[in-house]
Amino acid sequence: MSAPGFFVTGTDTGVGKTVASCGLVRALRAEGIDAGAMKPIETGVGADGPQDAHALRRAAGNLDPLDDVCPIQLPLPAAPSVAAADAGSAIELEPIEDAFARIAARRATVVVEGAGGLLVPIRDGLQGRGFDMADLAARLGLPLIVVARAALGTINHTLLTLEAAASRGLDVAGVVICHCTGPLSEADALNLAPLRGQLGDRLIAEIPPLAPGAEADRNGFRLDRLLARLR
Ligand SMILES: Nc1ncnc2c1ncn2[C@@H]1O[C@H](COP(=O)(O)OP(=O)(O)OP(=O)(O)O)[C@@H](O)[C@H]1O
Ligand SMILES: [Mg+2]
């Protein structure tokens, strides 16, 4: 595998990035690929710790220290730059890159879950624009996996995200459609058909509505479509 892993972003917050990332990690591991996982920046972290990072670490076999899986943990449930400012700090990239390097050294590949969507701010710029999730994916050298919600609005949100990725020079390895809002109305289900058609082979999984607490089926991922891009 030539790329060190995948950067999982979403068309929005709450679209199923964690559910999809955990499913992908399990799918890779079931294929004998030693996949690790990271949530480099988690906001909204309470007394019970970083919930996304816990789920990702569990999916990856509980092998990596939590501080490597999630080096930046912030209490305010907001965009990283906002949550960091609220905590009286600014996010440094070095701890993220160092933790990624340690996990990547131990593992065959790393699935990294971003926070929110692609243009979510991580650091304010000193001049011009700041450093955002797209910049982090580029800095870690990872192709994207875009998670899109299945509900109405997703054609626009997905195509906007793919355009933003292209304009920032990021490779998109695949798209996951996640039925995170539960069963669709007939109209919403019909609305999804053109998006599936437009994505073609880029669609690597469609995660159906899950019961509360259920995991995505690891057999639902088209790893052939994903891994062929990395070899
Ligand atoms: N296919 C599904 N069916 C039912 N519920 C789902 C599905 N996918 C995700 N959910 C639920 O939707 C919520 C959001 O999912 P998830 O946490 O994976 O999103 P996210 O994009 O990682 O969010 P964040 O931006 O906070 O990291 C969770 O409560 C999750 O259990
Ligand atoms: Mg998440």
Write out pLDDT tens, residues 48-93: 999 999 999 999 999 999 999 999 999 999 999 999 999 999 999 9
Report residue 214 CA to chain centroid gap.
18
5 neighbors 109 (Cβ within 8 angstroms):
yes
183 lines ligand 1 (CB under 6 A): no
How many structural domains is the chain composed of? 1
37 neighbors 24 (Cβ within 8 angstroms):
no
pLDDT in tens, 166-177: 999 999 999 999
| pTM score above 0.85 | yes
Q: Which CATH number belongs to the domain containing residue 110 in this structure?
A: 3.40.50.300
Q: What angle do CA 55, 189, 193 make, to 5 degrees?
A: 100
Is 17 part of the annotated catalytic residue set?
Answer: no
| Angle formed by the axes of helices 51-59 and 17-30, nearest 10° | 10
Q: Which amino acid is residue 93, in one-letter code?
A: L
Domain that holds residue 198: 5-230
* Ligand 1 centroid, distance to 126 Cα (angstroms): 34
Structure tokens at 98: 């160092």
